[in-house]
Structure 1
Amino acid sequence: MKCLFAFFLLQLCLCANAQLAYPPTVKTDTVTDYHGQQVADPYRWLEDDRSPATMDWVTAQNKVTFDYLDKIPYRADWLKRLEEINNYPKYSSPFRVHEYFYYSKNDGLQNQNVLYRQKGLKGTPELVLDPNKFSADGTTGLATFSISKDGRYAVVGKSAGGSDWRTLYVMDIQTKKYLADSLAWVKVSGASWQGDGFYYSRYPTPDKGKELSTKNENHQVYYHKVGTSQEKDVLVYEDAQNLQRFHGVFTNEDERYTLLNISDRGKAKDGNALWYFDNKSDDKKFKPIVSEAGDFNYNFVEEVNGRFLLLTNDGAKNRRLISVDPKNPDSSGWKTIIPEKEENIASISSAGGKLFVSYLKDVTTRVYVYSFDGKMEGEVKLPALGTAGGFGGERKDKFVFYTFTSITFPPTIYQYDIASGKSTVFRKPEVKFHPEDYITEQVFYPSKDGTKVPMFITYKKGVQRNGTNPTHGLQWGNHSFDRNH
C-alpha cells in the first residue's frame, strides 16, 4: 500500500516538464583515514545541520522544491485522492487475554491507533484506550501496553511527540481508571509482569536542569509492585562497570522463569547475553546461559520440559533453533531442534503447543509449523507472494491470527486453525481502489558480486513496459535490516 502511494506521489512530481535549476552544493577536500583507507567526504559540512551554511543550503533547496510543486495545477486533487485511498479502517491482529480479545483500530486518518477489546470473537467492541486524547495535539502516543496475567491491570506507557522517553502508568482495565502509580525516566523498556508487579528498565534520575543533556548511562532494571510509588521500586539489575549496556527483563508464559537480556552498544556488539533465574527456587540471583554479549543473538522462544528453546545465529548465519538446559548451559550440551537452511529464519513464535517458523525466501514470507522436537508438520498457505506476521499466542490456544500484505494487497487479518491447518479471513479492509487492476512481478538483478537481488515491479494492467513510463524505485536498508514489503 505504501509503495502504491509513493508511486502516485512520484507521478505527481513528474507531471511538470520545467527544467529545474538546483542551488549549487559546495564540495570540499575533506578526507578521512579509516584504518589506512582514505575516504573522501566532500559533503561533510552538511552534517552540521545548525551551521549558517547548511541552513542556507536547506532554505534554497526547499525554495526550488516548493516553487515547483506549487505550480502543478492539479496537485490538490492528487493529494485529495491519496487521502481518500488511505482513509479506510485499519486493524491490528487480535491477542487474547482470558475471554477477551484485544486489538487496535484506526478509523482511517487518526494520529494514533485506538485500543479496543471484545468478549469472544463476535463480542461487542469496548473502548479500552484512545491515545488521541492523551494530548491536545494528538502527538502523545501509546508506547507500552502490557496486561497482567489475571487480566486485571495494564501497564500503559505514554510517549510525547515521538520521544524515546516514556512514562509508565497502571490502569484498572475494568474501570478504565488509572492508579496513582507513575514511573519516570523509562527508556528502551517494555513491561513484563511477575505476580502483583512488573519489571521495567530505566535510567537514573538526572540532576535538575540537566534533564535533556545528561548522558544515557547505567541502564537499570527495577521491579514495581502495583499500588506503590516509584521510590519503593526494587533494583533488580545494573552494571555500573559497563555503563553503555542495555538491560531488559522478561518472564515466560507461566512466569516461572525470569530472563535478563543484555546488549552492549558501547562495544559495538551485535549480539546479546542471556541470564535467568527460576522463580520456584529460593535463589533469585541471575545465572548465565550466555554470559557475555558478543557477535551472536540468543532469542528466547519457549520453555519445554525445563529446557529453553533459543533462536540463534551462533553457528548458523541464517539462524537455527537450539535447546539449552539452563542448569547446564555449556554449548557442548546444546541440541539443534531446527537446523539452518538456505533461507533466513525471520522469526519463530509459539502457540497451541506448536512452533510457527517464518522464513524469508527472496524477501517473501514462508511459514511452517513445527513440533517442539523439531518435526515439520506443515506449511501455512499464504494467499500470494508477500509478507506475513503474527502467529503468536499461548499453549492452550486453538488458533492464531496473522496479517498478510503485499504491495497491492491491503493488510488482511487471517485466523489460522491449528488442528486443521486452514486459514480463513478474519478482517479484510474495504479500500478505495481496485487491487485486482494491478500486476506485481518478481524479478532478479545481479549485483556487483553476482548476488541475485530480488525486486518487485508493480504496474497497472494495460501499461506497456517499453522503458518510457515514469517509474518510482523504492529501496531501503539500515542497521543490518532490509526492506521486504
Structure 2
Amino acid sequence: MCALLWRGLLIQEGGIKLGTGLAQRLCSHPRYVRSSRRSQGVPVMGLELAPQDYPKVIRDEDFAEQLHGHTVKDPYRYLEDPDSDRTCQFVDSQNLLTQGLLDKCQSRSRFRDLMRDLYNYPRYGCPRHEGNRYYWNFNSGLQAQAVLQTQRNLDEDPQVLLDPNKLSDDGTVAFMAKDGSATELPDKLENVKFSSMAWTHDGKGLFYNTYPKKLQSQAGELGTETDANINQRLSFHVLGTSQAEDPVILAIPEHPEWMIGAEVTDDGSYLLLSISNGCEPVNRLWTCDLTKLPTDSSRGSLDLKDFDVAEGKHRLPLTKFIDNFDASYSYVANNGSEFFLHTNLLAPRYRVVKADLSQFGGPDNFTDVVPHHPQDLLQWATALKGDNMVCCYLRDVHHVLQLHALSHQQLLQDIPLPGLGSVNAFSGSRKHAEFFFKFVSFIEPGVIYRAELGDGHVQPSLFKRSTVKGLQPEDFEVRQEFAKSKDGTMVPMFIFGRKGFQQSSCNPLLLYGYGGFNISLEPSFSVSRICFILAFGGVVVSTNLRGGGEYGLEWRAAGSLHNKQNVFNDFQACAEHVIHQKYTCPAKLISQGGSNGGLLVAACANQRPDLFGCVLAQVGVMDMLRFHLFTIGHAWMSDYGDPGKPDDFDVLYAYSPLHNVRVPEDGHQYPAMLLLTGDHDDRVSPLHSHKLLAELQYQLAGRTNAAQRNPLVSRIEVRTGHGAGKPTEKVIAEAADMLSFAAEVTDSAWVRC
C-alpha cells in the first residue's frame, strides 16, 4: 500500500488523485511549506519543534542482540525499568516538554470547558433484580466514579449502597459489582489481578484468582510492575476469615501461562472453570459439583481446606467437560446436568447448543438450540424465567435482539430497537420475568428499556433516558460506508457529524480503529467525539477492521498472526476512502487508537506518514519483539505470534513500530505524534511508549539538519492504568489535551459559538 509522498503533486496510488485547486490549498498549509522557510527560523505553527528542543535521551548504541539471524539494536532497553533514575528522568523531561506544548494549544481550555459542560449529564446503569431489591450504577455527571444505588421497588427513591468516591482523594479507586450487588466488608484480599469473582449462592464464599509472586515493582508500588504474570491460581475465601487461610484449590504449574476463569451456575450447584491460553476465542470447560463438596457446619459455608494444592492436599474433583482448545464455550444456563452453551464449535458466527453433563459423549452429541446464522454474528445469549432466552446478534456492526425458546429451536419474536446502535448492557435472570437493556449509539447517550415476559408479545417500554444538555440526537447524522482494502475486502466504517455536514477536504476528521483480539467496535456514545464535532466542525469515523470480531472467526483470523498486515491495510484504505470522498484531506486527518489500536496507528504512521496530519497513540503495544515478556503480554501471542519462533519473528519485525521508524524521503516529515500512556498501566507497560518515543525523536529529529518539525511527544499520566475506571476529571483533561493538540497541529479552527 505504498503511496507517493507529497511532493507538490499530491498523488496517491490506489486510485486517489487530488484536484489542482485542492493541491494548491494544501501546499500552502503550514505543514507542507518547504523547509527553506524553516531554515530561516520562521515558525510554521505554534507547536513546531526543532531538534534542539527535545530532551537529551541516553542512547546505548552498543546494546544489540542476534535474533533469528538479525542484529537487532535495543538502545533504550533501560527504559523497561520503571523505577530506574534514568527512566524517571526521561518521564520528567518528556512531560515538561509536552506540557509546554499543550499550554500553547489555543483551544485547550475552551475544549476542557465544553467537555466538562457536556459531560455533566446523568448516566444510568441497567437495574439488576437480586433478591427483593434492585441495584444499579449512577453517575450524576461529574462524579469521579459511578455510585452503586439500591431500591426495593422501581417507584421509590434510590439509596446509596457504595460510593467509591469516598475511597480515594483523587477518584482513582473504582469498583465493579458483579450481579449488581455490593457491600463493604472488613475482609481484605491482596495480590489479586486479572481475576474472577464468583460467589457461592449462600453469599458466604468467593472464588478468586491470585499469583504466587507478590505483585509489586522494585519500588514496592502496585501497578508499575512489569514482571510476567504467570502461574495464575484459583483460591476460595470464606467471609469473615483471613486471606492467609484461603486454600488454593486449583493450580496448573505444568502450563504456567494458562488462566482460570471461575463462574457459579444460576442454580448454585456447579462451579464452571474456563481455562484459556491467550486471547484466542477458545477455552477448555471444566466443572465441579458444589453440592458434593464438604461444608463447615459452624459457618454454614463450603469447606475446601482439604483441597489446598499449595499444601499438597487432595485435588478438587473436576469433570473435564471440554478438555481441548478447539473452540470457545460459555455458559448460558442449565437445568440440572443439562447445560446450554454459547459456542463457536463448527460455527464461526456462533450458536447455542445443549448437552447433558451426566451423559456427555463429546461435541458430536450437541443439539442446536439456536443454530449458526450464515450472516449475523450471535454475540451473546441470556436465559430468562421459564423457557425463554434473549439472543443478541451483530448485523453489519449494529445490534439486533431476539427472543428465543431455551429448550428447543424456536424464534419467538424480534425485540424492537430504536435505531442503528448497540445494546451495551443487559440485565435479566432465570428468577424473574422482567429484563432491562441499555441502547446507545454514536449520537444517543443511553436509553434503558424495561420489558416483561408474558403470554403475548414482549414490548419494551422506556425506563430511563440520559440526555445531554443542549444536544439532540436529531442534530447529528450517521452514515455507514465501506472502503476497499488492498486485497479487495470491503471494510465497514461509520461516519458521523452534524446533521447535513458537508463533504469537504477542509474538514478535520478523527479516524479511530482497533482491529484485533476478536473485539468488535460497535456504535457507542463519546462526549469527546461530540465535542470534537461541535468545537472544530469535525467529522468522526469509527472503522471495523479485520482482526476484530464484527463478522466472526474468519474476520478475526484474517487480521491476526501472519495476517496482521491486513489490519494496517484496512485502516489505510479507510483513510484513503475518506480522502477520496472529500470528507477530509491528509493534512486534516487525525488517526487515533488505544492499546492494540495504539499499535495500529503507530504502525500506519511508519508505513504511510503521508496519509495523516496527526497521530494519537494511546497505551500502545510498540515493541513487538519483547511484548510477551511483560505483565500479561504472553497472552497476546494468540493474536500476534511468538517472537521466539523464526516465522513469527519475521512478521513481527516487519511491522513493529519501534523497529520501523524511517526518515521519509526528500526531507518530508512524519505527522505530529502524541503518545499517551499511564505510569500505572499494568497491562501494556508504559515502556512500550517510552521506547518508541525515544526512537522517534532520535531517528527523525536527532540531527541538526533534520526536516522534522511536527512534534513527537508523549503525555504520561500519573496514578492511572490502562484506561478502565479512570476518574471523570482525568478523562476530561486527557481528551482536552489530545484533541486540542490535534486541532493545533492540523490548523483546525474553533468554530463553536
1:136 maps to 2:174: no
Q: Deviations over 1:397-455 (max 9, x none)?
A: 22211111111111111112333311111111131223221111112222222222221
Q: 2:461 corresponds to which residue?
A: 424
Q: State how far apart, in whole Å, the 2-side matches of 1:484 and 1:378 are.
A: 23
Match in the other structure for 2:449? 414
2:208 is matched by which residue type in structure 1? Answer: Y
Aligned with 1:77 (options 110, 122, 137): 110
Instruction: Rate the CA distance shift 1:343–1:23 in 2: closer, same or farther, 3 A.
Output: farther
- Aligned-residue offset at 1:218: 2.7
Code of the residue aligned with 1:103 in structure 2: it is W
* Corresponding residue for residue 230 of structure 1: 243
Partners in 1 of 2:231 and 2:431 — Cα distance? 39
SS in 1 for 2:357: coil
Pick closer, same or farther for the CA change 1:117–1:60 going to 2, 3 Å.
Answer: closer
Once the two structures are TM-superposed, the CA of residue 363 in structure 1 deviates from its matched residue by 1.1
Q: 1:274 offset after TM fit, Å?
A: 0.7
2:207 pairs, out of 196, 199, 204, with 199
**Is the 1:49–1:55 contact (alpha carbons within 8 Å) kept by the matching residues of 2?**
no
Aligned residue number for residue 97 of structure 1: 130
1:364 to 398, 418, 443: 398
TM-score by length of 2: 0.52
2:193 corresponds to 1:187: yes
- The residue aligned with 2:317 is 285
Q: How many residues matched?
A: 438
Distance 1:191 1:59 in 2: 41
| 2:483 aligned counterpart, secondary structure | strand
Match of 2:508 among 461, 470, 478: 470
Question: Structure 1: which amino acid aligns with 2:131?
Answer: H
Aligned to 2:141: 108
Report how far residue 48 of structure 1 moved: 4.5
Superposed displacement of residue 232, structure 1: 2.8
Change (3 A) 1:33 1:215: closer
Counterpart of 1:271? 282
1:165 alignment partner in structure 2: none
The yes-or-no answer on 1:438 pairing with 2:476 is yes
Classify the secondary structure of the residue corresponding to 1:260: strand
Q: Is the 8 A contact 2:191 2:215 kept in 1?
A: no
The offset of 1:480, in angstroms, is 2.9
Structure 2 gaps of 5+ residues are 1-30, 32-42, 295-315, 524-753
Per the alignment, in what secondary structure is the counterpart of residue 191 of structure 2? Answer: strand
CA shift for structure 1 position 208: 10
C-alpha spacing 1:231/1:366, structure 2 compared with 1 (3 Å): same
Distance, in Å, in 2 between the alignment partners of 1:208 and 1:401 is 40
Once residues 120 and 336 of structure 1 are traced to their aligned partners in structure 2, the CA distance between those partners, rounded to angstroms, is 38
What is the rounded CA distance, in whole Å, between the counterparts of 1:115 and 1:100 in structure 2? 13
Greater CA deviation, 228-237 or 365-374? 228-237
More strand by share: 1
Q: Does 1:332 align with 2:368?
A: no
**Counterpart pick for 1:312 among 308, 318, 343:** 343
**Contact 2:133/2:150 (8 A) holds in 1:** yes
**Structure 1 residues 411, 224: CA separation in 2 closer, same or farther (over 3 Å shift)?**
same
**Larger CA deviation: 200-209 vs 329-338:** 200-209
Deviations 1:98-125 (A, max 9, x none): 2211001111122211110011111221
Measure, in 1, the Cα distance between the counterparts of 2:170 and 2:288.
44
How far apart, in 2, do the equivalents of 1:230 and 1:480 lie? 36
Q: In 2, Cα distance between the equivalents of 1:33 and 1:338?
A: 52
Distance 1:71 1:128 in 2: 44
Larger RCO: 1 or 2 (CA < 8 Å, sep 6+): 2
Instruction: State the alpha-carbon separation in 1 of the partners of residues 172 and 99 from structure 2.
Output: 26
Call closer, same or farther: CA 1:443–1:137 in 2, change over 3 Å: same
**Distance between the aligned counterparts of 2:522 and 2:65, measured in 1?**
34
Deviations 1:290-330 (CA, angstroms, capped at 9, x unpaired): 013x2421111111353111111121111111112212331
Secondary structure at 1:132 match in 2: helix
Q: Distance in 1 between matches of 2:480 and 2:217?
A: 55
C-alpha distance 48-58 of structure 1, shift in aligned 2 (>3 A) = same
Residues 1:145 and 1:334: Cα distance change in structure 2 (over 3 Å): closer
Give 1 or 2: higher helix fraction.
2
Q: Deviations over 1:109-156 (max 9, x none)?
A: 222111100111112211100001112222111145567xxxxxx666
Q: How far has the Cα of 1:23 moved from its partner? A: 5.3
Task: Tell whether the 8 Å contact from 1:350 to 1:391 is kept in structure 2 after alignment.
Answer: no
Aligned residue type for 1:273: R
CA RMSD of aligned residues (A): 3.7
What residue number does 1:159 align with?
none
State percent identity of aligned pairs. Answer: 28
Deviation, structure 1 residue 47? 10
| Higher-Rg member (1/2) | 2
Which AA in structure 2 matches 1:18? M
Structure 2 residue 264 is the aligned partner of structure 1 residue 255? no
Residue identity in the other structure for 2:443: T
The answer as to whether partners of 1:356 and 1:391 remain within 8 angstroms in 2 is no
Is contact 2:65–2:73 with CA below 8 Å preserved after alignment?
no
Deviates more, 1:371-380 or 1:282-291: 282-291
Which amino acid is 1:89 matched to? P
| Shift, 1:270, TM fit | 4.5
User: Using the alignment, how far apart are the partners of 2:466 and 2:344 within structure 1?
Assistant: 37
Q: 5+ residue gaps in structure 1?
A: 1-13, 148-153, 157-170, 172-177
Tell me how far 1:41 sits from its aligned partner. Answer: 9.0
Superposed CA deviations along residues 33-74 of structure 1, whole A, max 9, x for unmatched, are 9989x8x999996994679799869957974x6555534545
* 2:330 paired residue number: 299
